[in-house]
């Protein structure tokens, strides 16, 4: 697939901003890679979330203040599995972490989006797992949910992360149900079946929104 045309220098141009979301083990990352293969820039909130908690960052210092030095690994970085074990089963702790990380992530994502817009990109994707939970849908012109049913989600997560059923279910339940996200989204990509079927749904969507011909 060839690259999408960007705006010519000096041309007045508005990028279509797509908010992409899903749930753990729903296949959102696979769909994000499909956008990348089309030369559509993807701004990944998870990548940025890791950047803003690196040693020296303001969020890093605040997280240690709130959760204690026990979550710091031997190399000085935050031990993500240890922090995850605290927040997945404790909604209050999870919200505390979100209040620290989300503002920093949002600020950096907006800066990247502005850069791509200035470069004349026809379409920009904001890959945000907590798009609706974090009330970030307003950052996008259109929203897309990558959907699978809960049984498929559970099976894929257990296999991918080598988790026991209860461990996997705890992680799924820590997020808004995919069925609820689907109701809030402008469009849904059903990822219960093959990658090719999901790709066709994406291409049809981009044609509908006049991103692709």
Asked if 53 and 80 count as a contact pair (C-beta separation under 8 A), the reply is no
Q: Where are the alpha helices (DSSP H) in 4-149?
A: 28-37, 45-51, 58-67, 80-87, 91-118
Establish whether 134 is an annotated binding residue. no
Establish whether 26 is an annotated binding residue. yes
Compute the distance between CA of residue 139 and CA of residue 130 in angstroms, rounded to an integer: 12
Establish whether 10 is an annotated binding residue. no
Q: Where are the alpha helices (DSSP H) in 88-188?
A: 91-118, 150-161, 165-173, 178-184
Establish whether 27 is an annotated binding residue. yes
Compute the distance between CA of residue 18 and CA of residue 142 in angstroms, rounded to an integer: 5
Establish whether 28 is an annotated binding residue. yes
Could you give the C-alpha distances from 182 to 26, 154, 187, 208, in angstroms and in order? 12, 18, 8, 18
Establish whether 85 is an annotated binding residue. no
Residues at the annotated binding site? Answer: 25-30
Binding site per annotation, positions for ATP: 25-30
């Amino acid at each position: 697939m060839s690259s999408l045309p960007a705006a010519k220098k000096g041309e007045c141009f508005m990028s279509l901003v797509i908010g992409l979301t899903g749930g753990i083990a729903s296949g959102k990352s696979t769909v994000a890679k499909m956008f990348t293969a089309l030369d559509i820039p993807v701004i990944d909130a998870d990548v940025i979330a890791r950047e803003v908690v690196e040693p020296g960052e303001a969020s890093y210092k605040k997280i240690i203040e709130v959760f204690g030095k026990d979550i710091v690994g031997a190399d000085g970085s935050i031990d993500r599995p240890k922090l995850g074990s605290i927040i997945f089963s404790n909604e209050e702790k999870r919200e505390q972490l979100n209040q620290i990380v989300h503002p920093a992530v949002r600020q950096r994502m907006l800066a990247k989006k502005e850069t791509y817009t200035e470069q004349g990109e026809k379409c920009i994707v904001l890959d945000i797992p907590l798009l609706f939970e974090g009330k970030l849908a307003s950052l996008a012109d259109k929203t897309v949910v990558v959907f699978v049913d809960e049984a498929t989600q559970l099976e894929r997560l257990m296999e991918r992360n080598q988790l026991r059923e209860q461990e996997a279910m705890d992680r799924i339940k820590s997020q808004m149900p995919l069925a609820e996200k689907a109701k809030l989204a402008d469009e849904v990509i059903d990822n219960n079946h093959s990658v090719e079927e999901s790709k066709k749904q994406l291409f049809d969507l981009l044609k509908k929104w006049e991103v692709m011909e």
